[in-house]
Structure 1
């Protein structure tokens, strides 16, 4: 059978198709992939993207299709986490204007664990339709969190595109709302599996289709997807306002949004299945997407090729090469900062604890892109100019 994968592991119940060499996978991620391949409700094969690394229960950068069950943790705790990009009409921007824009953004977009001091306009919130118990419980708190960046690898980046234009890219998710929904249904899944004597591997508790919680989780997850988009959109409005305040006569076009933590009902190989993407981007034929590097390397706007073997998916970024704690211990602060300075990037590394987001903690984005030429076609290359990190 044709496959565009770089390697196929055939020792488990289902094949595991890798878009990287098997030896490039860390042992923990490989073990998690084997667990996925042995789930009784997994469909066809498991697809592992070139940016993969160990997650909780399921590797980041993995695609799992299922029949008759949904796995909350195969979506993850940051439901709807993803990227959005926007092209400006600017072809150049000077360093002083860039600094002024980033200053305004820092004042108007809370980062890390910070929220807004006041609730935001309710018009930003997706409408609650039907019974959404956890969303309803968390709704008031979410009003303070919409339009906030969060922590970890979330970022706001100003970039120069190979198309000649200045771009804005934002990476963020559903904040505490998605986290609370994810944990609630993962706990329910664990209890259901235990009661039925069907305990899944750690982190892979599932909700069977026969359970009342199956559709409830889907509905709450889909709300979190909408909220995550609203969150990114509001932040983008604040960044646009900063540009407009600093630079006269600037326009914006070509908004792109792509989540990379979600589960969706799709048709693959002639059957309707639930495709779980955890740190993976959908890449249907002609569909736009974004694959960021690190704050010191290029990012890419791409169009999908609709590759069936990857369940029409591609990587969601460069992927980590070391854990956050390893990065803080192993990387040299001066070396990482000097490398960013040499490129003239307004970066987000201030001290040792920021090294978990240093370029050195990520895989080589060029190698990651080379491993998925069959999955996507690059449209625009984006060079970082200025970065705010969560």
Structure 2
């Protein structure tokens, strides 16, 4: 831990040493909520979000806050280890071509509905989710945009790995926006002490609205995992084709980093909100990606109670998307990747929003959370497809 801010109603514990004032102000808003449990935790990749900092962890008693989960509900990582020991440039380019042909990127979706048996069971979801279901059938197995990626990596264990970062596509945003609007309306009706301009509207857990949100949130989490699994199957098929079927794959590692869940901390059951943060229970295997062109990590949680057993979800931004496009030098960012021999996705100025220069130094981020996780495998990028 780097520091503790003790000026608010509840402490703010920080594992980050490079963070904007606006993110600190958001954390102070959290720390003064009447239903906060113990303290607020900011991970080493924390930066300004909407309502709550991305890289924040918040435990509450009796309420759930849609904006403390975020708009891409269930967004997360999956990774898989192969028995392949090396891939040359030709093979990597073949695989990148296969990925682009079989996995829609950015805002694109499949033209036809996918196999419904691959979708999570809907169970007790709301009418809002039912209305989104048909569209979700065309989004299953698609990457999305922003910072989502598919990366081929060489592990410090001597083997090739595949890593995917993606979320619940548009259904997560629709659900988040719907319930945040509902929470704002109810909070105004109740004359709550939580200021509306803090963007932290809440739902008391015993309300029908909270129950509906929890069910819909869980469906988004399940859909995001199903989405990543289908993309991973496409990548595996490409690897099998290139290697004439001679590939063995380990079990998939999957983690979400935008969700809320009931957990027991300090001997009490509370709702832990992780917005851009990864669970890191003692012995739990997790994934921490770097920025484009930098190392990523398979880690093991240390179960630190002060972070509510959490760690970072990545490197964390130091520049907004438009700022990066304005201020970063295109040739410098391309050269940085070319010098490492990485097959990358930076072609023009608009791609600079996902350049390494827009993110924190992953080495610093990992050093700042040595009390949260230990590194199991270090992964160096070989080729990346961006959303």
Q: TM-score, normalised by structure 1?
A: 0.97
- Tell me which stretches of 4 or more aligned residues in structure 1 moved more than 3 Å: none
Q: For 1:209 and 1:162, how far apart are their aligned partners in 2? A: 45
Shift of 1:74: 0.4
- 1:59-100 deviations in whole A, cap 9, x for unaligned? 000000000100001000000000000011100111101100
User: What residue is the counterpart of 2:243 in the other structure?
Assistant: 247
Task: Look up the SS of the partner of 1:253 in the other structure.
Answer: coil
Task: Look up the SS of the partner of 1:254 in the other structure.
Answer: coil
Shift of 1:211: 1.9
| 1:122 equivalent in alignment to 2:119 | no
2:51 aligned to which of 51, 54, 57: 57
Moved more, 151-160 or 209-218: 209-218
Shift of 1:236: 0.2
- The unaligned stretches of length 5 or more in structure 2 are none
Shift of 1:128: 1.1
Q: For 1:288 and 1:73, how far apart are their aligned partners in 2? A: 27
1:321 aligned to which of 318, 321, 328: 318
Shift of 1:209: 2.1
Shift of 1:255: 1.1
User: What residue is the counterpart of 1:215 in the other structure?
Assistant: 211
Q: For 1:128 and 1:329, how far apart are their aligned partners in 2? A: 43
- 1:293-331 deviations in whole A, cap 9, x for unaligned? 111110000000000000000000000011111100000
Please say if residues 26 and 198 of structure 2, whose CA atoms lie closer than 8 Å, have aligned partners that are also in contact.
Answer: no
Q: For 1:138 and 1:14, how far apart are their aligned partners in 2? A: 39
Q: TM-score, normalised by structure 2?
A: 0.98
User: What residue is the counterpart of 2:269 in the other structure?
Assistant: 272
**Residue-pair matches, total:** 384
Please say if residues 161 and 383 of structure 1, whose CA atoms lie closer than 8 Å, have aligned partners that are also in contact.
Answer: yes
Q: For 2:111 and 2:26, how far apart are their aligned partners in 1? A: 41
User: What residue is the counterpart of 2:9 in the other structure?
Assistant: 13
Moved more, 10-19 or 242-251: 242-251
User: What residue is the counterpart of 1:337 in the other structure?
Assistant: 334
| 1:291 equivalent in alignment to 2:285 | no
Aligned pair in 2 of structure 1 residues 324, 131: CA closer, same or farther (>3 Å)?
closer
The CA RMSD over aligned residues, in Å, is 0.8
Please say if residues 97 and 247 of structure 1, whose CA atoms lie closer than 8 Å, have aligned partners that are also in contact.
Answer: no
Shift of 1:167: 0.1
2:83 aligned to which of 86, 89, 92: 89
Moved more, 245-254 or 156-165: 245-254
User: What residue is the counterpart of 2:223 in the other structure?
Assistant: 227
Q: For 1:97 and 1:117, how far apart are their aligned partners in 2? A: 28
Please say if residues 51 and 200 of structure 2, whose CA atoms lie closer than 8 Å, have aligned partners that are also in contact.
Answer: yes
Please say if residues 125 and 219 of structure 2, whose CA atoms lie closer than 8 Å, have aligned partners that are also in contact.
Answer: no
2:309 aligned to which of 308, 312, 318: 312
Shift of 1:132: 2.4
Task: Look up the SS of the partner of 2:230 in the other structure.
Answer: helix
- The unaligned stretches of length 5 or more in structure 1 are none
Please say if residues 149 and 172 of structure 1, whose CA atoms lie closer than 8 Å, have aligned partners that are also in contact.
Answer: yes
User: What residue is the counterpart of 1:101 in the other structure?
Assistant: 95
